[in-house]
């Protein structure tokens, strides 16, 4: 990333939280003077400047994490550390907007499961679903692209959604979900071309 782009990224993702951070540091860490707060914020900006911005999902969370690490370093290097500083370092653990590893794995598994369910749909049902939900086409655009009537597109989409919902419910962790016979029967009838 070139230097002007780095400036823009910091201006958009870090600077909006500077006043909030300074206020928090002044309120919570009274032992730090204004000069100490200025030094801490300046060092945080210097470290953020050297970071790989592509890996940062939340500027606010990254700013607070950087300051937390700086305060921990400060506490390690000082012989006498104000007791309030030790307690406040932990409170700087801002809840990140980013999902943790468990949520990422769970989301990936859920996405794979959904992909398998969609792949198992009948061809026209699947194609209508993909065009409508993945590509964001309107019913009319899907109908034109596939050479179908809008009503047929609507029916295919309804059946696709019903089958996906049933498959997701059947494979839910509770494992105990009633299937609705009418929707399963309608989906089977469609495959035989009885509509």
Predicted TM-score of the model (pTM) = 0.41
96: in domain:
no
What pLDDT digit, counting tens, does each position of 17-48 carry? 888 888 887 777 766 677 878 888 888 888 88
29: nearest Cα among 89, 70, 93, 95: 89
Query: Nearest 5°: CA angle at 66, between 29 and 16?
Result: 80
User: With contact defined as beta carbons under 8 Å apart, do 85 and 29 qualify?
Assistant: yes
- Residue 161 sits in the same domain as residue 112: yes
Q: Give the confidence band of 100 by pLDDT, cuts at 50, 70, 90.
A: low
Query: Nearest 5°: CA angle at 95, between 103 and 43?
Result: 125
3-state DSSP percent of the chain in helix, strand and coil, to 5: 75, 0, 25
- Residue 121 sits in the same domain as residue 39: no
Among 11-20, 58-67, 139-148, 161-170, top mean pLDDT goes to: 139-148
Task: Look up the domain containing 174 and give its range.
Answer: 101-191
State what percent of residues in the chain have pLDDT above 90.
Answer: 14
Residue 161, token pair as written in the block: 């959604």
- Residue 144 sits in the same domain as residue 186: yes
């Amino acid at each position: 990333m070139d230097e002007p782009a780095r400036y823009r990224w910091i201006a958009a993702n870090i600077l909006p939280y500077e006043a909030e951070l300074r206020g928090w540091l002044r309120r919570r860490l009274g032992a730090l003077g204004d000069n100490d707060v200025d030094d801490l914020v300046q060092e945080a900006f210097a470290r953020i400047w050297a970071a790989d911005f592509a890996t940062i999902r939340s500027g606010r969370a990254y700013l607070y994490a950087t300051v937390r690490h700086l305060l921990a370093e400060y506490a390690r290097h000082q012989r006498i550390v104000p007791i309030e500083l030790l307690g406040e370092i932990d409170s700087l653990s801002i809840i990140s907007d980013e999902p943790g590893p468990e949520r990422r794995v769970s989301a990936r598994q859920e996405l794979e499961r959904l992909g398998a369910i969609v792949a198992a749909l009948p061809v026209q049902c699947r194609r209508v679903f993909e065009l409508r939900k993945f590509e964001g086409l309107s019913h009319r655009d899907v109908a034109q692209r596939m050479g179908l009537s809008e009503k047929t597109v609507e029916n295919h989409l309804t059946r696709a959604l019903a089958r996906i919902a049933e498959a997701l419910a059947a494979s839910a962790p509770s494992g105990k979900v009633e299937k609705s016979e009418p929707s399963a029967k309608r989906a089977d009838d469609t495959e035989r071309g009885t509509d």
